[in-house]
Amino acid sequence: MAACGHTGLKRAMAKKRTGPRKAPTLKKILRPLAGDSHRRASVDIHRYLRDLILSNALPPETILSQVEVADCLKISRTPVREALRMLMEEGLVKAEPNYRCRVLGFDPRELEALYVSRIANEGIAATVTVQSMTDADVETLAELLRQLRKDEKQHNLRRWLKNHRAFHQMLFCRANPLLQKRMTVDNQRSERYVYNAAQAGLTEIFRRAAIEHEELYQACKRRQPATVVALLTDHLTAAAIDIMAEFAPDWEPTTLRNAARLMRSGAAHLDDA
Decide the pairing of beta strands 63-65 and 93-96: unpaired
pLDDT beyond 60 at 43:
yes
Model confidence, pTM: 0.80
Q: Which residue has the higher pLDDT, 177 or 202?
A: 177
Minimal CA–CA distance to 52: which of 190, 158, 155, 151?
A: 158
- For residue 35, the model assigns a pLDDT of 62
Please write down the long-range contacts of 212-215, taking CB distance under 8 Å and 24 or more positions apart.
Answer: 213/1, 213/145, 213/148, 213/167, 214/1, 214/145
**Of the ranges 32-41, 111-120, 176-185, 206-215, which one carries the lowest mean pLDDT score?**
32-41
Q: CA angle, 41 as apex, 39 and 44 as ends, to 5°? A: 125
Q: Which residue has the higher pLDDT, 205 or 83?
A: 83
Q: What is the pLDDT of residues 157-171, one digit of tens each?
A: 889 999 999 999 999
pLDDT beyond 70 at 185:
yes
Decide the pairing of beta strands 100-103 and 63-65: antiparallel
Best-predicted range by mean pLDDT among 14-23, 53-62, 129-138, 264-273? Answer: 129-138
